[in-house]
Amino acid sequence: MQSLISVVIALAAMAFVLGVMILVHEFGHYAVAKMCGVRVEVFSLGFGKRLLGFRRGDTDYRISALPLGGYVKMSGENPMEARTGDPGEFMSHPRWQRFLIAIAGPAMNVILALGIVTGVYMVHYEHDWYIDQPSRVGWVEENTPAAKAGLKPGDLITQIAGQSNPLWEDTRAKIAINPGQPIPLVVKRGDQTINTTLTPDTYGPSRIGEAGLEPAAGVVIDSTEKNMPAYKAGIRQDDEILAINGIGVHSPGELTHFLQENKSKPVEVTAMRDGKVSKYDITPVLGSDGEGHEKYLVGITVGVRQAVDKLPFPEALSRSVEQNKKYAMLLIELVEKMVQKKVSVKMMSGPIDIARVSGEAAREPGWTPLLLLMAGISLNLGIFNLFPIPILDGGVILLLFIEGIIRRDISIQIKERIYQAAFVFLVLFAAMVIFNDITKLPGFSNLLR
C-alpha cells in the first residue's frame, strides 16, 4: 500500500512539474505568435488523441492523451506544407518575427526559473548553511580520491578546475561532473599553498563523481533512538555536537570515524542546546547500522545546521540570476563533456527519473523543494530547446540564421531530409534516456544476474 501511495505521489508531482513548465513554454510561443499575427490552430497540453478542450476563435485549446509534452500548431508552420501566401501563416511572416516566436518558449522557461527562485529566496529558502560558504574541508575518508590527493581536514580549497574561491556548492558540482577526470586544485593549509590533482571516483547509477571529502559543516542531531546510549545520556534532537573527548568535531564523517576507532570505550560528548554548552558521558554499543553492517553506535542520526534566507526583492532577484546563470553554465559544461565522452549519459534524467525525484521533493516538508526542482528542470528545458537540433526551437533558429545569411529560403526537399533525420535522432535519444532511467531504478542490476 505504501509503495502504491509513493507511486501516486510521484506521478502527481511529475504531472504538476511538467504541466506547469510545458504550459509556460507553449504559452511563450502562443503569445508571441498572436502578437505577430500568426494564426494558431492548436494549443495542446500533451500529444496524441484529444481528450477534452474548447475552441475560441481560430484556436483549439485541448488536453491530449499523452502527458509527455505539449505543442502549439501554427498555420503553415510545417515547412513541408504548401504555402498559400495567407498572411496568417507562419512562413508568411519575416524571419525576425519567426525568430521571436521560436525563442519565446525557451525564454519563458528561463523566466519561470528566475521567478520561482526569486520567490523562494524572498519567502523561505532553507538550506544547509555551508552551501554558500568557502570550501573548508571537514573530513577526508581513507583510501578515497581526496585522501590520495593529499587533502586533510582544515584545508581550504581556493581554486578548483580554474575557478577561484569556490563555494561548497561549486566544489561539489565540479566533482560531480568530472568522474574519472583529473581536476587541478589549489589548497591553502595554514601558511602553505599546495597544488594537487583530484580524480573523483565514478559513483552510483548516475555515474557521477565522488571524492570522499566532507565540508567543515559541524554536526547537528536529526533524531535520537530511545533506549540507546545518547538518549539515555540526555542528548536530544537539534543538539549540536561540538567535541568528543575535548577534540573538535567538524563533520558527520569525522564523528562516525571517531566512534568506530574508539569502539566501546566511554566518550565525553560536548554539545550545545539553545546556546548552552553541556557535557555528556556516553558508552557506544555494537549493533547493526540498518544496512547489514555491524558498527559502534550511540543511537543518533546526524546532519548539519540549516540556514533560512528571506531576502528583499532586489537582492533575491540578483541572487536568482546569479544562481541560474551558474547552473546554466554547469549544464552546458556537462553536455560538452558528454559529447566528448568524458562523462556517462546516465547523468541525464528522463520522465521516470523526473517522477522519482519529483515524488521525493513532494514528500519533503513545505513547497520549497518541489518549487526549486521545478525551477531547475524548467531551466534545463529552456536550454535544451535552444540546442541547434531541427524540430527543437534551437534548430528552427539555426535554420533561420542560415537563411538570413544566404538571403533565401532553404529548399523544401533539404528541410524535409533535415527534419526526418532530426526526428529519428530525437526518438533514439528519448529511448536512450528512458532506458537509462530504468537501469537506475533500485534492484535493476539484480534482474540482470
Boundary residue ending a domain (149, 183, 214): 214
Confidence bin at 82 (pLDDT 50/70/90): low
In this structure, the answer to whether residues 33 and 107 fall within a common structural domain is: yes
Q: Using CA atoms, how far apart are residues 206 and 360, in angstroms rounded to an integer?
A: 17
Nearest CA among 40, 72, 71 for reference residue 56: 40
Q: Using CA atoms, how far apart are residues 407 and 400, in angstroms rounded to an integer?
A: 10
In this structure, the answer to whether residues 189 and 268 fall within a common structural domain is: no
In this structure, the answer to whether residues 102 and 143 fall within a common structural domain is: no
Read off the DSSP letter of residue 395: H
Q: Using CA atoms, how far apart are residues 261 and 267, in angstroms rounded to an integer?
A: 12
Boundary residue ending a domain (257, 283, 303): 303
Domain that holds residue 401: 2-122+370-447
pLDDT in tens, 346-386: 877 777 777 788 888 878 877 888 889 899 999 998 998 99
pLDDT in tens, 300-347: 989 888 888 899 999 999 999 999 999 999 889 988 888 888 888 787
Confidence bin at 447 (pLDDT 50/70/90): very low
In this structure, the answer to whether residues 35 and 98 fall within a common structural domain is: yes
Q: Please report whether residue 337 resides in a domain.
A: no
Confidence bin at 79 (pLDDT 50/70/90): low
Q: What angle do CA 378, 127, 333 make, to 5 degrees?
A: 45
Q: Using CA atoms, how far apart are residues 285 and 283, in angstroms rounded to an integer?
A: 7
In this structure, the answer to whether residues 188 and 76 fall within a common structural domain is: no
Is 448's pLDDT higher than 60? no
Of residues 368 and 151, which shows the higher confidence score? 151
In this structure, the answer to whether residues 198 and 268 fall within a common structural domain is: no
Report the C-alpha dihedral over residues 224, 229, 231, 236, rounded to 10 degrees: -70
Q: Using CA atoms, how far apart are residues 243 and 303, in angstroms rounded to an integer?
A: 15
Cβ burial, residue 21 (10 Å; 0-12/13-18/19+): buried
In this structure, the answer to whether residues 207 and 229 fall within a common structural domain is: no
The residue behind cell 576507532 is 261
Q: Please report whether residue 329 resides in a domain.
A: no
In this structure, the answer to whether residues 28 and 98 fall within a common structural domain is: yes
Boundary residue ending a domain (303, 323, 341): 303
The residue-averaged pLDDT of 404-415 equals: 84
Q: Please report whether residue 349 resides in a domain.
A: no
Q: Please report whether residue 317 resides in a domain.
A: no
- What percentage of the chain reaches a pLDDT higher than 90? 47
Tell me the CA distances in angstroms from 444 to 345, 436, 440, one per residue in order.
17, 11, 7
Q: Please report whether residue 310 resides in a domain.
A: no
In this structure, the answer to whether residues 194 and 243 fall within a common structural domain is: no
In this structure, the answer to whether residues 82 and 45 fall within a common structural domain is: yes
Other C-beta atoms closer than 10 Å to the C-beta of 427 total 10
CATH number of the domain to which 246 belongs: 2.30.42.10
Nearest CA among 71, 20, 30 for reference residue 50: 71
Strand partners, 135: 157
Q: Using CA atoms, how far apart are residues 177 and 151, in angstroms rounded to an integer?
A: 20
The residue-averaged pLDDT of 393-404 equals: 90
Q: Please report whether residue 359 resides in a domain.
A: no
In this structure, the answer to whether residues 162 and 225 fall within a common structural domain is: no
Q: Using CA atoms, how far apart are residues 289 and 242, in angstroms rounded to an integer?
A: 23
Q: Please report whether residue 336 resides in a domain.
A: no
The residue behind cell 553541556 is 278
pLDDT for res 443: 58
Number of structural domains (the chain) is: 3
